[in-house]
Amino acid sequence: MAIGDTEITLAGNLVQEPALRFTPTGQAIATFRVASTSRLFDRQTGEWRDGDSLFLTCSAWRQTAENLTESGLAKGDRVIVHGRLRQRSYEAKDGTPRTAYEIDVLDVGPSLRNAVAKVTRIQRHTATTGGVGNAAGTADAPRTPADDPWASPPSTDTDDEPPF
């Protein structure tokens, strides 16, 4: 996050399933829309009613994008999205100026208000594996000092150079 970024956390329902695509350089991006509707209490009728709905387009990048699309979230699921609010100005086909608000996603996940979720951790890229471990693999195994390059014993060499 940079100074001046507007952080936003939004709870709402997926309007469409997240769509995964890749940029020409191979970066994953998942786009989806979230609808958030406020609830208002009407004192005259003594009942709750829906307020206006806010629809926001969200973009998740890289590993977050891939994890999101493999999570099984579908249209209608309630999610919580946290990210940077972005404003984009453009000109419509008829020539009128328009403004769009979007979220550059930092975190996204299912809301647990009316659902349950099972978390499956994945292994991140490492120098020894060269890739991402699968969900059923060793991702949840505890790390040992042998797995951690910073936990190596001090070198017996006489030079003071680090081991990397």
Contact 13, 79 (CB under 8 A): yes
**Which residues share a beta bridge with 13?**
35, 78
**Which residues share a beta bridge with 6?**
85
What pLDDT digit, counting tens, does each position of 128-150 carry? 445 544 444 444 444 445 555 55
Task: Answer whether 0.75 is exceeded by the pTM.
Answer: no
Torsion angle, alpha carbons of 123, 129, 132, 135, to 10: -60
| Alpha carbons 123 and 138: distance in angstroms, whole number | 7
What pLDDT digit, counting tens, does each position of 101-134 carry? 999 999 998 888 888 888 878 776 655 445 544 4
| CB burial of residue 34 (10 Å; 0-12, 13-18, 19+) | buried
Q: Which two tokens stand for residue 105?
A: 């996603």
